[in-house]
Amino acid sequence: VKPKKWLPDLEGKMDVVIDSLCVDGYESSYRALTPDGILVCNTSNHSALQLQHQNDHGVNAWWSSVKAKYVWNRAIFYDLNESYEENPKMFG
């Protein structure tokens, strides 16, 4: 989980990264991508609340989701809770 341990070996080498923890605002996961790689930011309200608690406010969680949704062109943002609310039948 600690990017300082794995990022030096994987920076720029991953075709796909799925990040559901958002440990550092998806920064290390994005840096691990190849130039054509895709980052999938898989989150839910639970992980956003956990990040919000760690930072004592929601600004970092908000900015992380904005980057993944609108700034980074190689990122896909997927919110599990939002998906369930929109289409609960998809989850069986």
Q: Is the per-residue pLDDT at 65 higher than 60?
A: yes
* Stretch 24-50: mean pLDDT: 83
CA dist., res. 63 & res. 85, Å (int): 23
* Stretch 35-62: mean pLDDT: 69
Q: Is the per-residue pLDDT at 56 higher than 60?
A: no
Q: In what order do the strands lie in the sheet with 33-43?
A: 14-19, 33-43, 75-79
Residue pair 32/8 in contact (Cβ under 8 Å)? The answer is no
- In terms of Cβ atoms closer than 10 Å to its own Cβ (0-12, 13-18, 19+), residue 22 is buried
3-state secondary structure of 35: strand
Position 49 scores a pLDDT of 46
Confidence band, pLDDT 50/70/90 cuts, at residue 57 = low
pTM of the model: 0.76
Confidence band, pLDDT 50/70/90 cuts, at residue 1 = confident
Q: Is the per-residue pLDDT at 5 higher than 70?
A: yes
What percent of the chain is predicted at pLDDT more than 90?
53
